[in-house]
Structure 1
């Protein structure tokens, strides 16, 4: 009895092509179950998270009554945040500070000084600094909030019951 017959079968029973296909399938299954690789999973078990504080500056927000917005932040203490057009969820509002607007005024000696904007309340436009808090994942490339990296200069959108406006991250810190 020959090892291969005229039809390409081993010992007259098993085709070489069938045997090759079975070996490939077994190797694939072995690779999937015993060497799954290092790709991340949806659950991301074991990822280290830390509390993070983020300062967001908002410039030129058009608003009729800024104090109502500050009161809303102080009452709810939470806001929805969207990072690079990716919704993250709710974060804590640690503090809200209205910033005084200034203008550059030339002096008689040729120097310039920053003085309080004399137009004040008539412009319906404010600048403010918000400190937000939440939990972020620690990675080699920085902090990740949701699925978005959070770094200085990152555009964010804040949304609540009566507001929706954009700001920019100016500080990211992990409190000790």
Structure 2
């Protein structure tokens, strides 16, 4: 399936000079959404992992159905202040600012292998913060999966010690 047809470009969002790649039209198209989960499944099924960690918010939209399909647990990685239990946090830089992510300290057992999933790989800052938290809790990152990779931002280079999977390269 050509997912590029389902990606909408929004100029100057979230700030002037950014061309935002909006994947949400994929989710309103049942065939595209179903194919997306199937394609991700086929790309990650050979990896050895115990959990899927989805990064808020679009990582939840693909991480949860993929976790169900693969009979894996799901770990939410959220923005600061959204989780009720004891958390670990990591700060990161975006192309257009900074933010903080959190994860429950008891999200997985030490030694667990985790696949991290998000919608977009840009500079790699968001996923690097997620990796940091998982490793600080003695988890092993088994791989990284994305719907869209913005290759011109070279995020993959920052993540070279992990298997990186992306369905679309732009």
Task: Please tell me the TM-score bracket, short chain as reference.
Answer: under 0.3
Greater share of strand residues, 1 or 2?
Answer: 1
Which of 1 and 2 has greater Rg? Answer: 1
What is the TM-score with the length of structure 2 in the denominator? 0.24
RCO higher in structure (CA 8 A, sep ≥6): 1
What is the TM-score with the length of structure 1 in the denominator? 0.23
Greater share of helix residues, 1 or 2?
Answer: 2
